[in-house]
Amino acid sequence: MVSGTANPVVQRPQRTSRGVILIVCAVALMALQDALVKWASADLPLSQIFVLRSLLVLPVLTALAGRGALSAWRSGLSAWPISRALCLSLMYLSLYAALPFLPLSTLAAGFYTGPLFIVLLAARFLDERAGRWGWLAVGIGFLGVLVLLRPGADVFEPAALLPVLSGLFYAVAAIITRGKCQDEHAASLALALNVVLLATGILIAIPGMAGQGIESAGAIRPFLFRPWLPLETDGFLLIAVLAVLMVGIGLGLAAAYQLAAPVVVASFDYSYLVFAALLGFVMFGEIPDMTTLAGTALILSAGFIVILKGAGGQE
């Protein structure tokens, strides 16, 4: 994690409009990816998705790097890109562990504690102050998450805490990107991510390949640990689509947090909520109730406060 030692303020270049465009595109792809993984969770184990997708993504990223491929690999396998990739891999594991049990809108709400954590961590470790409006936005956004998750209510689902954990890992990865990986090429960071996802997929495949019983593993584990299945044409097509999405997500996320301040990028990060709600309705017939809509409105308003008050700096 980024060191807690006080450092002098570093002047980082701001290209806010480009960062905003990239993050909106990246989270749209991420929402589609998550919806497809949720759809596939009844058939394919997560380890199989991780491994096969990364095996397709890595050659594509290497080709995109062109003559700088060797340098991109060397840089991507250094300490900070790998640390960032570990955080993102833990993010995906936490998020996808809850996929079979939660509507996409609820999943998105828990995950989008991430931008709130980003504002807090950026102030602590990057010395990029959010100001009073930024802190107000954090408070409103946190209230929105509480409304959505409804802790203590009869409808509270413990699995909803997993996306919150995922949001924390996402925030740490974003801070590492901004604080320690800003000079890294986006391809290097994307390569590191997919190397770690490949290794993660192999590790979580071991219990299933070893033939350990799934019946006693609990409801959440079959998707994570069950044995691999033979792929038909639809399965290969799905993995290919997920690979294309991962290339866009990996490059977009890395570049967005390099180009603009975390507080600004985190604000537009909230657009994931809209994409997730739309895909949840279209693909799974999920219709958010009034409480979910109220919580989402609070979270979105928190993002708009940061945007309108210019937290994080201007172009």
Residue 122, token pair as written in the block = 């950026």
* Lowest-confidence region among 51-55, 102-106, 191-195, 230-234: 102-106
Query: Residue 153 carries which DSSP code?
Result: S
57: in domain: yes
pLDDT above 90 (res 90): yes
Q: Given pLDDT bands bounded at 50, 70 and 90, which one contains residue 210?
A: low
pLDDT above 50 (res 213): no
Dihedral of CA atoms 233, 239, 241, 247 in degrees, nearest 10, equals -150
Q: Given pLDDT bands bounded at 50, 70 and 90, which one contains residue 194?
A: very high
pLDDT above 70 (res 252): yes
| pLDDT given for residue 84 in this prediction | 95
Residue 239, token pair as written in the block = 């993995």
Give the whole-angstrom CA distance, residue 270 versus residue 296. 9
Q: Given pLDDT bands bounded at 50, 70 and 90, which one contains residue 209?
A: low
139: in domain: yes
| pLDDT given for residue 153 in this prediction | 54
E strand or H helix that includes residue 212: none
The count of other CB atoms within 10 Å of the CB of residue 241 is 14
pLDDT above 60 (res 236): yes
9: in domain: no
Task: Report the Cα–Cα distance between both ends of the chain, in Å, rounded.
Answer: 28
User: If we measure between CA atoms, which residue out of 43, 64, 26 comes closest to residue 234?
Assistant: 43
Greater pLDDT, 121 or 219: 121
Give the whole-angstrom CA distance, residue 215 versus residue 96. 19
DSSP string, 48-69: HHHHHHHHHHHHHHHHHHGGGH
| pLDDT given for residue 238 in this prediction | 93
Residue 258, token pair as written in the block = 């390099």
Q: What is the three-class DSSP state of 211?
A: coil
Which residues are within 8 A (CB) of 51 and not within 5 positions of it... i.e. 6 or more apart?
198, 201, 202, 205
Rounded to 5 degrees, φ, ψ at 309 are -90, 0
Q: What is the three-class DSSP state of 222?
A: helix
Average pLDDT over residues 78-91: 95
Q: Given pLDDT bands bounded at 50, 70 and 90, which one contains residue 255?
A: confident
> How many domains does one find in the chain?
1
Tens-digit pLDDT profile for residues 173-188? 989 988 899 888 888 9
Q: Domain limits at 173?
A: 16-308
Average pLDDT over residues 42-70: 91
pLDDT above 80 (res 58): yes
| pLDDT given for residue 14 in this prediction | 59
4: in domain: no
pLDDT above 90 (res 205): no
Tens-digit pLDDT profile for residues 266-313? 677 778 888 888 899 999 898 877 887 888 788 778 767 766 665 444
313: in domain: no
239: in domain: yes
Whether the Cβ atoms of residue 182 and residue 258 lie closer than 8 Å to each other: yes
| pLDDT given for residue 303 in this prediction | 66
pLDDT above 50 (res 109): yes
User: From residue 295, how far is each of 112, 160, 210 by CA, in Å?
Assistant: 11, 14, 43
How many residues are present in the chain? Answer: 315
Give the whole-angstrom CA distance, residue 182 versus residue 88. 16
Give the whole-angstrom CA distance, residue 206 versus residue 188. 28
Give the whole-angstrom CA distance, residue 199 versus residue 195. 6
Whether the Cβ atoms of residue 280 and residue 109 lie closer than 8 Å to each other: no
Give the whole-angstrom CA distance, residue 207 versus residue 212. 6
pLDDT above 50 (res 19): yes
Residue 181, token pair as written in the block = 């990986």
40: in domain: yes
| pLDDT given for residue 98 in this prediction | 86
- Per-residue b or e along 289-298, where b marks 16 or more CB atoms closer than 10 Å to that residue's CB: eeebeebbeb
Q: Given pLDDT bands bounded at 50, 70 and 90, which one contains residue 199?
A: very high
- In this prediction the pTM is 0.79
Average pLDDT over residues 140-152: 75
pLDDT above 90 (res 242): yes
Average pLDDT over residues 149-154: 60
The count of other CB atoms within 10 Å of the CB of residue 15 is 14
Q: Which amino acid is at 116?
A: L
196: in domain: yes
